[in-house]
């Protein structure tokens, strides 16, 4: 290619599918597209495909992404690039082409946080826009039982309006105070069950998994106890 002549006035445009970097030490470097391929081959533009997300290697070398994404690997909808070549640096414009908007967001909480406000920041007010929104909310940090319950309830209330809504609370710790358990029951068997789960959740001699399970069981009990029975 470097030795191939180009008629005067013609544009040299490369089109390739593959990687520009190797992820394996013993990989055959001849299978890799050199990142400086556009310059070494005298190309006006090298359009690459392989990545599902858009990626600029250099001004003349770009991955356009996929017109419709099918996973959470890259946030946002599918795109394509409109490239204008006039001999100078290519003019590149990104155009959304995908119908579905993939969003994977993190929410970090501290006790007494306003969970509804935090969640609503990622929930379009217009319910119609949620139909094509696939949202994964990964929560972490710590919330008190009522707040966590409110967060989960809030998530449940909007979940059905989304194309997909996932509220992940595995990494969200629960802080339990005595008054929180009163909301389950001030005494009796329900309170005994709640106390037992809290003790197990805070038992430092138990495994982390067992503590997590007990804590989540207590969350569940709290939520169920708040439902109208």
Partner 1 sequence: MQIHSVRLDNVRRFTGPVEITNIGPGLNVLSAHNEHGKSTIFDALHAAFFLDRKSMRADVASLIPHSGGDPEVTISFSTAAGRWKLLKRWSRAASRKEVKLWKDDVLVGQEDQAEAMLADILKAPKAGGPAGLLWVRQGLVGLEEKGDEQNVRRDLLSSVTGEVEAMTGGRRMDAIRASVKDSLSRYLTSTGRPKKDGDLAQAQENLQELEERHAGLQSAVRDLGNDLGERRRLRRELEEIEDPKEKDRRAATLREAEAALADAERAAEILHGARETEARAKAQADGAKERLDRLTKAIAERNLAEEALQTAQKSAELAQDRLSAADTFFSEATSAQKAANEAAESARAVSKAATRAQLAATSQSRRTELQNKLSAAEAARAELEKAKADVALGPNQKAVERVRELSQAVEVARISAESSAPSITLSYTGDGRVRKGSEPLQEATRIALPDGAELDLDGIGRMVVQPGAGSLTDAVSKAETNLSAALDAAGYGNRASLDEAAKLRVAAEDRVRNATANLKAAAPDGIEALQTLIAAIPEHAESDVNLPTVAEAEEAEGAAVDALSDANVELERARTAKDLAHQETTRASAELSAAMERQTRATQNLEGISDPEADAASLEVEVTGLRAELTKATEDRVVLEADAPDASALKITRDRAKTAIENSRIRVEDIRVRLAELDTRIRASASDAVEEELADVEEKRGQAQASLLAVETEVAVLSKLLEALDAAREEARERYVEPVLSELRPLIDLLWPEAELQIDAETVMPTKLVRRGTEEDFDVLSGGTREQIALLVRLAFAQMLAKDGRSAPVILDDAIVYTDDERIETMFDTLNRQALDFQVIVFSCRQRAFRDLGGTQLTIEAAS
β-pair partners for 79: 96
Minimal distance in Å, beta carbon 202 to partner 1?
14
| 73 touches partner 1 (CB under 8 A) | yes
Residue 185 is a binding residue for partner 1 (CB under 8 A) = yes
**Least distance between partner 1 and beta carbon 24 (Å):** 8
Report d(CA 171, CA 118) in Å as an integer: 16
Q: How far is CA 51 from the centre of its chain?
A: 17
Nearer to partner 1 by C-beta: 8 or 209? Answer: 209
How are beta strands 79-84 and 164-175 bridged, if at all?
unpaired
Our finding on whether 196 is near partner 1 (CB under 8 A) is yes
Which region, judged by CB under 8 A, interacts with partner 1, from 26-34, 95-103, 109-117, 139-147?
26-34
What residues have CB less than 8 Å from 120, skipping those under 6 apart? none
**Using the rule CB under 8 A, is 3 a contact of partner 1?**
no
Backbone angles phi, psi at 6, to 5 degrees: -125, 130
Whether 21 and 35 have beta carbons less than 8 Å apart is answered as yes
For the chain, the farthest-separated pair of C-alpha atoms sits apart, in whole angstroms, at 91
Host H or E run for residue 55: strand 55-58
Nearer to partner 1, 122 or 216 (CB): 216
Contact segment (CB under 8 A) with partner 1 among 7-15, 93-101, 141-149, 210-218 equals 210-218
Does position 160 interact with partner 1 (CB under 8 A)? The reply is no
Please provide residue 188's backbone torsions phi and psi, each rounded to the nearest 5 degrees: 80, -165
Give, to the nearest 10 degrees, the angle between helix 145-159 and helix 208-226: 70
CB of 158 to partner 1, least distance (A): 20
- Residue 156, interface with partner 1 (CB under 8 A)? no
Query: Judged by CB, which is closer to partner 1: 50, or 114?
Result: 50
User: Which one of the spans 75-83, 111-119, 137-145, 190-198 is the region binding partner 1 (CB under 8 A)?
Assistant: 190-198
| 25: contact with partner 1 by CB under 8 A | no
Of the residues 114, 192, 202, 203, which one makes contact with partner 1 according to CB under 8 A? 192
Closest alpha carbon to 12 in 24, 1, 23: 1
Report the alpha-carbon distance of residue 91 to residue 62 in Å, rounded: 12
The structure tokens listed for 164 are 């997909």
Is residue 26 near partner 1 by the rule CB under 8 A? Answer: yes
Q: Point out which residues bind partner 1 (CB under 8 A).
A: 26, 28, 30-31, 71, 73, 170, 182, 185-193, 195-197, 212-214, 216-217, 220-221, 224-225, 227, 229
């Amino acid at each position: 290619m470097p030795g191939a002549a180009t008629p005067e006035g013609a544009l040299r445009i490369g089109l390739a599918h593959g990687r520009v970097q190797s992820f394996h030490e013993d990989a055959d470097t001849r299978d890799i597209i050199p990142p400086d391929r556009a310059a070494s081959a005298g190309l006006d533009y090298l359009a690459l495909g392989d990545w599902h997300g858009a990626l600029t290697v250099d001004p003349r070398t770009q991955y356009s992404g996929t017109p419709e994404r099918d996973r959470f690997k890259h946030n946002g909808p599918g795109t394509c690039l409109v490239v204008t070549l006039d001999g100078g640096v290519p003019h590149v414009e990104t155009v959304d082409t995908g119908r579905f908007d993939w969003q994977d967001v993190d929410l970090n909480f501290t006790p007494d946080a306003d969970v509804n406000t935090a969640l609503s920041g990622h929930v379009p007010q217009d319910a119609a826009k949620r139909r094509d929104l696939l949202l994964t909310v990964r929560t972490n940090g710590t919330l008190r039982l009522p707040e966590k319950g409110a967060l989960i309830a809030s998530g449940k209330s909007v979940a059905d309006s989304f194309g997909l809504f996932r509220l992940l609370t595995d990494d969200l710790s629960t802080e339990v105070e005595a008054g929180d358990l009163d909301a389950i029951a001030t005494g009796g068997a329900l309170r005994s069950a709640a106390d037992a789960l809290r003790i197990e959740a805070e038992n430092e001699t138990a495994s982390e998994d067992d503590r997590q399970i007990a804590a989540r069981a207590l969350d569940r009990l709290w939520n169920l106890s708040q439902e109208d029975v």
